[in-house]
Structure 1
Amino acid sequence: MKSLQGLASVIILFGFTVCIPHAQAEMRLAQNQTPSKSQVIPQESINNNQDAKAKLKQAYDLFFESKNYRGAIAIFNEVIQLEPNNAYAYMGRGASYYELRNYQAAKTDLDKTIQLDTNISFAYFFRGLTNHALGGKNAAIADLQIAANMFEKEGSAKMAQRTLEIISQIRNA
């Protein structure tokens, strides 16, 4: 389980750079570099609310640069108050909860992300990791398989391969 959590943390950092339509996936998994704020937040996820946009960037900045997950959660909460249907705020908060090992809260937020937008591959990815942490092996594999298929369709072959490797680890555990 610990090796999956460590791998998940590295993939999370890598993943946010490739899940964004216009992001350039310059970061290599092995280097464990942090993406820029502009690579993290898809502009179409903000409903022209500049305050929400600034807060979402701030929350992701705390998540990536400071690894201040509690602080990020507080700001994601503010974004959700301003834009209750912002799927990326729920996804970021869910990822933060995952990093804090609050798996039930993570699952709730990732379920909400998918309810709001079924096209966010990383929502399935994180929910799969969360399901695994909660002991739901079959649910984890199902979500991760959806994520792998979506990554492949999006042209993110590296993420698809990494996700398939995680599925294999779960199956063999």
Structure 2
Amino acid sequence: MSTSQHAIQLKDEGNSLFKQKNYEGAIRKFSEAIALDSRNHTFYGNRAASFYFIGRYYEVITDCQIALQLNPRYAKAWLRKADAHDALMQYAESIESYQQALPLSSSSEYPELQQRIQVVTSKIMHPSTMNLSTLLTIARAHSIPIPHQDQMHTPAQTETLRKALHRHPKWGSQPRVRYMYIPDDDSQPIRNFELERLPVGKLDGEVKRVLGGGCRDYTEELSVVR
């Protein structure tokens, strides 16, 4: 039996364990298959699925990223990556991954995928996701004046502001960004930027390293993703 055939056999054994819901066992088999053939994108995708069902979402994302480097049109990897980001409340990244899967999906899969995007989008605009500090930062980033913002304290005021910003033309017209640099000096503008290919779970330290000592705070601008 060749190395490639042995790797396929291990994958099949992993699939069988996966169907039995023995996800730890499946992970071991898929890992053995990867050790023999690290260029097969489906091995990473199958292991990602196993990681997902035991709640190891960071590993899901890592495996999906490797699978997509090997095959960018691997729709299942985009979907599993999106699901993992959703589970981690990384809604912007989840929607982006779902959108990557859209053109790769069949006509029968398309409506369900659109619905999943709508569900995640609704989570972005949920009051529990967007607190007053985040809303005021977004308003400042888009140069939207907020009268009497120092008098806003109640949940009802936060909800009113959230709805108003969501309808504001400046908000919808801005390009999608992922993070906002907030200078110590309030007279300085907030700068939008994107950070990509950062280790999941290590973003906070990486942001501070990239931005240096002038960074007072940062916040995810989830709300601009429709």
TM-score (norm 1): 0.67
Encode CA deviations 1:49-89: one digit per residue, 9 max, x unaligned: 2111111111112112x011111000001000100111111
Identify the match of residue 99 of structure 1 among 32, 35, 53: 53
Conservation of the 8 A alpha-carbon contact between 1:141 and 1:170: yes
Q: 1: CA distance between counterparts of 2:3 and 2:29?
A: 18
Task: Specify the code of the residue in structure 2 equivalent to 1:52.
Answer: A
Conservation of the 8 A alpha-carbon contact between 1:147 and 1:160: no
Work out the percentage of aligned pairs sharing the same amino acid. Answer: 27
Identify the match of residue 90 of structure 1 among 32, 44, 48: 44
Shift of 1:48: 7.4
Q: 2: CA distance between counterparts of 1:57 and 1:157?
A: 29
Matched, 1:158 2:102: no
Q: Residue in 2 aligned with 1:58? A: 13
Conservation of the 8 A alpha-carbon contact between 2:67 and 2:77: yes
Task: Specify the code of the residue in structure 1 equivalent to 2:17.
Answer: L
Q: 2: CA distance between counterparts of 1:140 and 1:159?
A: 17
Conservation of the 8 A alpha-carbon contact between 2:64 and 2:77: yes
Conservation of the 8 A alpha-carbon contact between 1:148 and 1:161: no
TM-score (norm 2): 0.52
Q: 1: CA distance between counterparts of 2:91 and 2:118?
A: 11
Shift of 1:158: 2.2
Matched, 1:120 2:78: no
Gaps of 5+ in 1: 1-46
User: Which one has a larger percent strand, Structure 1 or Structure 2?
Assistant: 2
Q: 1: CA distance between counterparts of 2:22 and 2:110?
A: 28
User: Which one has a larger percent helix, Structure 1 or Structure 2?
Assistant: 1
Task: Specify the code of the residue in structure 2 equivalent to 1:170.
Answer: V
| Pairwise CA RMSD | 1.4
